[in-house]
Structure 1
């Protein structure tokens, strides 16, 4: 079949790679977001989907608004559009462009975690599993009928980054099955139960500020979920509070009653940096001071002493 790939995020790269190399289908075009400034020098940088498509000799479109590019999309004469992490809602005119179907690859078990941050939401909630959903797209936000769903285990050590990569690598297999079902037709359609739907919005850096009044277990989930983006942090006390990023932490089980949430209970380089939470204690295992490098908490404490009893913000 003739495939039009619509995507921007790196999570779609393995699926694009599979589509390029499989003899079953032909990628006739790639639609992605415009190049954006990146890094400290704000160098104009293309999405990796564009880089990969151009390397394979595939035409690329980068409209500011995809709804304004309907005629250009029709020119690809696609049978199926495959959409993953594109970053814009598709209008009905765009959805009607492919002859057979407009499919979306979503990184959750819908209707759970509709929206922009399903991977982080699953870890943050302490879920034991998530997955890849292939759905028929409609004009809503991840509300279309489900074609198929494949489950992926969330390991206790998974972060937002590692789970992102696992789901990205799982997606091509799901997509292959979905396209086979479209080709043999009619493909399954199962309506989502809207009563069971949950939503997760786009994340901002401020969302990663640690609220020490929360239980230690919840904060450990949050730290894993938001690694690497948007990251989590607390504020070191002082005339000008400085952020301290927290990359990895561990719940201390069966902790006894603690002082006020945010209190540094231990700051010994040998025993680590331990902070009181609303319930339980959290050992900060890997941290990063402003302008510094990521390091083990013990190494951080050797270079910058923190007094026991200090209150983190």
Structure 2
């Protein structure tokens, strides 16, 4: 099968490697245009482009996939199938129905749960204990196509979004090869999604990053690890943004008496912050303009004292 691969971030790279290593003829790789990244704002190619060039694969970077010129380029590649993994643009019908075997997508959830752009972050932030990968046949809806294969994985108590992302990326690559093998053998069955069970994972917003200390410690713990390593949960201290990267829960479920949510209760060997229910022990933080630091290193250079109220 002649394969066109469409993907952009790190999540898609293992799938591209898997296709090439398995001997599939990848006749083109489509990815987003190079864009400014990092503090310096330097123009950098996306991870999929970097991987494709290392493997000697032809790369296309259309600004808009709906442009007639790009669609004609796709036709000239004569793909039997298009594999999509976190590409970043909605595909029009002119692309979805171009290859004879359709467009197959790797989605990082157990569809129909967590349709949308941020399934990994949202699953952790919502305290889910299980997620997985779905290989689906794309249609014109938002992650609504027929399911081809699925596999579940546990979300461990200590997983953050980065750890789970890497695990699901590798699983997605493995499951993709299995799906393509079954497709070649004529043994791949389609299963329509049950729309009544659908939930959604909308893109992250700046509001999702803000720590509301009035919430329970458990909810904040899930929020913080669900935003690590990107974009990070944040609060304020002395007029500056303080990102909170790692915490542990203390006194879960216990009411907090005599202090207000966000108040630092102890700041010695341990920094305990009151929440709406229970306490969080800060493990790793980052003050605006600084580096991520273990809390012990942070305290050596910053006077965070009991009675301080974060978030103001």
Whole-angstrom CA distance in 2 between matches of 1:287 and 1:40: 19
Whole-angstrom CA distance in 2 between matches of 1:67 and 1:188: 30
The SS at the match of 1:109 is coil
Whole-angstrom CA distance in 1 between matches of 2:286 and 2:55: 40
Q: For structure 2, list consecutive stretches of 5 or more residues without a partner in the other structure.
A: none
Contact 2:4 2:29 in 1 (8 A): yes
- Residues 100-109 or 254-263, more deviating: 254-263
What CA deviation, in whole Å up to 9, does each residue of 1:181-214 have, x standing for no partner? 2212263111111111111111134421100011
Deviation at 1:256, TM superposition (A): 5.2
Whole-angstrom CA distance in 2 between matches of 1:176 and 1:53: 18
The SS at the match of 1:103 is strand
- Residues 299-308 or 223-232, more deviating: 299-308
Deviation at 1:257, TM superposition (A): 2.9
What CA deviation, in whole Å up to 9, does each residue of 1:64-113 have, x standing for no partner? 11121211111111111100000011111110111112100000001111
Contact 2:20 2:26 in 1 (8 A): yes
Residue 22 of structure 2: aligned partner:
22
The SS at the match of 2:151 is strand
Whole-angstrom CA distance in 1 between matches of 2:211 and 2:255: 21
Paired residues in the alignment total 307
* Map 1:93-172 → 2, pairs under 5 A: 93-172=94-173
CA RMSD of aligned residues (A): 1.4
Whole-angstrom CA distance in 2 between matches of 1:43 and 1:98: 36
Contact 1:30 1:58 in 2 (8 A): yes
* Map 1:1-313 → 2, pairs under 5 A: 1-23=1-23, 25-68=24-67, 69-185=70-186, 187-236=188-237, 238=238, 241-254=239-252, 255=254, 257-258=256-257, 259-268=259-268, 270=269, 272-313=270-311
Contact 1:215 1:280 in 2 (8 A): yes
Contact 2:256 2:276 in 1 (8 A): no
Contact 1:207 1:230 in 2 (8 A): no
List structure 1 runs of 4+ shifted beyond 6 angstroms. none
What CA deviation, in whole Å up to 9, does each residue of 1:20-68 have, x standing for no partner? 1112x21111011111112233221111211221222221111111121
What CA deviation, in whole Å up to 9, does each residue of 1:239-286 have, x standing for no partner? xx1111111000103545332111111112x1x111111111111111
Whole-angstrom CA distance in 2 between matches of 1:71 and 1:247: 46
Whole-angstrom CA distance in 2 between matches of 1:195 and 1:133: 18
Contact 1:205 1:231 in 2 (8 A): no
Contact 2:255 2:276 in 1 (8 A): no
The SS at the match of 1:200 is coil
Whole-angstrom CA distance in 2 between matches of 1:251 and 1:175: 38
Calculate the TM-score normalised by the size of structure 1. 0.94
Deviation at 1:180, TM superposition (A): 1.4
- Residues 136-145 or 297-306, more deviating: 297-306
Contact 1:204 1:230 in 2 (8 A): no
Q: For structure 1, list consecutive stretches of 5 or more residues without a partner in the other structure.
A: none
Whole-angstrom CA distance in 1 between matches of 2:265 and 2:152: 40
